[in-house]
Structure 1
Amino acid sequence: MRYASITSRLAELGSGKWTLHIRARQLKASGADIIELTIGEPDLPPDRALLDECQRAMNAGRYRYSNGRGEPGVVAALVEKYCRRRADVTAENILCFPGTQTALFAVMLGLAEAGDGVLVGDPLYATYEGVIRSTGAHPAFVPLKPKHGFHMQADDLEKAVTPDCRVLLLNTPHNPTGAVLTGAEVAAIGEVARRHDLWIVCDEVYEELVFDATFASPFDNPDLAERTIVVSSISKSHAAPGFRSGWAIGPAEFTRRLLPVSETMLFGQQPFIADMTAYALTHEIDTARQMREAYKRRARRIADGLAKVPGVSVLAPEAGMFALIDVAGTGLSGEAFAWALLEEEGVAVMPGSSFGEEARDFLRMSLTVPDAAIDEACRRIASLAERLSLLRERRA
């Protein structure tokens, strides 16, 4: 039988990147003592008020058809949120989607097609390459270098631009590295985008989980307004990933053109979830503060717990739910170390290679487990690293 070419383009870009995570789940289900540090699923539940609002909306009959742009209440809440950043935002700048992933897919479908290049940092979130290739476009990787704290540099972006590039897919705060671009870096990147007439699609899902840095975005620069689209959701900010509630904010002409694409895919979000999202955006909810404090503390515990371990160093994140650990000094790649860690020590982390070539020597370790589990995971990582160090000494 014949299949559409998208199935070939995405054949290796789905769950294959999560093979270690899937294996860890299997081992855990069979009774193995596994500390799971693979995915960014908040360990706090959503605030009770959000669950109550969702239930209230369902009981009030808010389960009928929606509209393509988004329910009026959540659109109004998004206008209020983004007007605090740029005063010209109206309902015409907004489209609602079931989560950031769906928003990214639809936005990219509206901006790129076969033969186009989409610039994206390497390392990158694991689904980005699939989002790009689904359109027929190809990724043009911009190296995010450890010596710069994995912050995208305008000079590196400039070198990666080719005549077929149409879009820059930016992510700040960044997954998997936790890097937060500075205002100066954003301005320099924006200037490259203007010079080459690039769209900027900025994934800002970790905006509320910045530790001590200052969040900056191309969206906030009026000179970049005509070319910038922000995608985000309540998945991380409100510990509600399963509710699948996100959005895209961009120029009015862009949302007008993308609306039929969105309607063809989805034709609206569940009204009761939209009502919950509007409540989340318009009330003081403490979840993000609690997560910021917990994740920052746990990142510090990892750095302290592995500080004297041979061959291992920790990159302190500036935001988000993950810490990167450089294991190059152990003599193993990130991939090999991660599998050895699972098989010998019962700790599941993501190999950096799942996120790109520039992270091949790293592990991504989730911060979304209790402190005691973090400490025990560090003890087990140290145990493996010390055994590897002894092996190297014996061979020397």
Structure 2
Amino acid sequence: MRDPLSSTIKTIQPSGIRKFFDIVSEMKDAISLGVGEPDFDTPWHIRDEGIYSLEKGRTFYTSNAGLKELKIEIAKYLDRRYGMTYDYNKEIMVTVGGSEAIDIALRAMLDAGDEVIIPQPSYVSYVPCTVLAGGTPVIVELKEENDFRLTAEELEAVITPKTKILIMPFPNNPTGAIMEKADLEAIVQVVKEHDLFVISDEIYSELTYVDKHVSIASFPGMKERTVLINGFSKAYAMTGWRLGYACAPETILKQMLKIHQFAIMCAPTTSQYAAVEAMKNGDEDVAQMREEYNGRRRYVLHRFKEMGLKCFEPFGAFYAFPSIKEFGMNSDEFATKLLNSKKIAVVPGTAFGECGEGFLRISYAYSLDDLKEALGRIEEFVTELRAGMDNK
């Protein structure tokens, strides 16, 4: 029988994030700091609106692009929070999480051989989605000495005549790095000079701990070049509701919508009604959760400092990215030994690109009690490793 599988799909590796999560789920007394999921319940008033929509029998398809009411509230939110103006009817669509938006944006914009610049370490979907869309990933290695920010010089160095799209993954998963206004100004100049388009993944925009998040789409002349992607999973603790959105020029959004129509039809109706409530009345919930994350962030960094584990200060998302280069083992080996020895699951930095070697992603989207226990075990582990190195 001939091979039923696509040659392209066979080249794509499964997500490196889930490996340790699957192991720890079967391990008694283990603590996972590996999954990027808020430990908060979705705020009750948002859940209540979803329940009410079911009670009212709102269980039918919505329009392909999403509920009109939700798109209007998304437009209001973007104006209120970031001073950006979008036409809800022509420039906004609702998707099944931010991940679908990434996929269909790439498929709508790429021809075979078009190059997509992807800064790494970064979220695991960008490379496989680029490959599946027929594009060619071009990796820019973000550097610790630059606080894992993308510089104009790094971007300029990899642009070729085939370059079409730059992915901007900030605030960043896994590093927690952010791009401030001055950083973005330099990038905007390069993007315009080379006539590029941008896919800006801003799913962690509300989880920024210095000043306020700045979107690259807010710069003059950039809205026309940018697909802005966001969603409800991280800021509103709505991961399981599977709801995101994309904002883009009408010419791009029309084509994204065609793919969405044939592959998805529409995002979950119940989730969309709940999201209307989140957009209208969720700002205070977001602020409270952000403050809690910020306290955990400071605690995690303090504990790393106490145990002598080098870690640059992340100002976004809910991740820390400590270096384990001093121990002379690769990230996967370190994470495996930590799990087996101390029953603590973290994600090897290499899950987010080869340049993540020598680092770990540690999520602080967990209770302070879990963080205290987990970091205590990590301190025991690194102390034992150092003692073993001294005795050699």
TM range (shorter): over 0.9
Change (3 A) 1:210 1:387: same
So what's the TM-score if we normalise by structure 2? 0.95
- What is the distance in 2 between the residues matched to 1:283 and 1:336? 45
Query: 2-side partners of 1:86 and 1:214: how far apart?
Result: 14
**Partner residue, 1:349:** 346
> Partner amino acid for 1:389?
R
Please state how far the C-alpha of 1:285 moved relative to its aligned partner.
4.3
**Quick one: distance in 1 between partners of 2:11 and 2:93?**
27
Measure, in 2, the Cα distance between the counterparts of 1:343 and 1:51: 38
1:371 to 365, 368, 371: 368
How far does the alpha carbon of each residue in 1:251-275 deviate from its partner, in whole angstroms, 9 at most, with x for none?
A: 0111122221111111112222211
Deviation of 1:82 after TM superposition, in Å, equals 2.4
Equivalent pair of 1:213/1:318 in contact (CA under 8 Å): no
Q: Of 303, 316, 337, which aligns to 1:319?
A: 316
Asked whether the 8 Å contact 1:73–1:274 carries over to 2, the reply is: no
**TM-score for the superposition, normalised by structure 1:** 0.94
Q: Residue by residue, what CA displacement relative to the aligned partner does 1:99-153 show, whole Å, maximum 9, x if unpaired? A: 0001111111111232121101110112221111111212111111000100111
After the TM superposition, which residues 159-174 of structure 1 pair with which residues of structure 2 at under 5 Å, given as runs? Answer: 159-174=157-172
Gaps of 5+ in 1: none
Residue aligned with 2:175, SS: coil
Residue number in structure 1 paired with 2:78: 82
Separation in structure 2 between the aligned mates of residue 97 and residue 213 of structure 1, nearest angstrom? 29
Report the more deviating stretch, 16-25 or 196-205.
16-25
Q: Which residue of 2 aligns with 1:53?
A: 49
- Is 1:255 the counterpart of 2:257? The answer is no
> Does structure 2 retain, via aligned residues, the 8 Å contact 1:47–1:285?
no
What are the equivalent positions in structure 2 for 1:330-341 lying under 5 Å apart?
A: 330-341=327-338
Contact kept in structure 2, 1:83 and 1:89, CA below 8 Å: no
- Distance across 2 between alignment mates of 1:56 and 1:198: 44
Instruction: Give SS of 1:216's match.
Output: coil
Describe the SS at the equivalent of 2:129: helix
Alignment match, 1:158: 156
Does the 8 Å contact 1:9/1:134 carry over to 2? no
CA contact (8 A) 2:167 2:198 kept: yes
8 Å contact kept, 1:9–1:133:
no
Letter in 2 for 1:289: A
Query: Which residue number in structure 1 is paired with residue 39 of structure 2?
Result: 43
Is the CA contact 2:236–2:282 (under 8 Å) kept in the aligned structure 1? no
**Aligned position for 1:23:** 23
Contact between 2:197 and 2:225, CA under 8 Å: does it hold in 1? Answer: yes
User: What's the offset of the Cα at 1:6?
Assistant: 3.7
Asked if structure 1 preserves the Cα contact closer than 8 Å seen for 2:300 and 2:364, the reply is no
Which one of the candidate residues 214, 218, 223 is aligned to 1:225? 223
Shift of 1:21: 2.1
Alpha-carbon shift at residue 202 of structure 1 (Å):
0.3
1:16: Cα distance to partner?
4.6
Between the aligned partners of 2:119 and 2:178, the Cα distance in structure 1 is: 13
Aligned to 1:358: 355
The counterpart of 1:5, out of the listed 4, 7, 28, is 7
| Corresponding residue SS for 2:138 | strand
Deviations 1:262-313 (A, max 9, x none): 1111111222221111111111443322221222212222222232425x21
- 1:80 Cα shift? 1.4
How many pairs were matched up? 388
Does the aligned pair in 2 maintain the 1:227–1:251 contact within 8 Å? yes
- Conservation of the 8 A alpha-carbon contact between 1:35 and 1:346: yes
RMSD: 1.5
Match of 2:182 among 181, 184, 200: 184
User: For residues 8 and 38 of structure 1, do their structure 2 counterparts lie closer, same or farther at Cα, with a shift above 3 Å needed?
Assistant: same
Q: 1:53 to 1:162 in 2, by over 3 A?
A: same
Runs of 4+ in 1 over 4 A off after TM superposition: none
Is 2:59–2:269's contact at 8 Å kept on the other side of the alignment? yes
Instruction: Give the conservation status (yes or no) of the 8 Å contact 1:228–1:251.
Output: yes
| Preserved contact between residue 109 and residue 252 of structure 2 (Cα < 8 Å) | no
**Distance (Å, rounded) in 1 between the aligned partners of 2:21 and 2:205:** 26
Q: What SS is found at the alignment partner of 1:91?
A: coil
Could you list the runs of 5+ residues in structure 2 that have no partner in the other structure?
Answer: none
Residue 214 of structure 1 corresponds to which residue in structure 2? 212
User: Among the aligned pairs, what percent are the same residue?
Assistant: 26
| 375-384 vs 167-176, which moves further | 375-384
CA distance in 2, matches of 1:171, 1:146: 16
CA contact (8 A) 2:17 2:35 kept: no
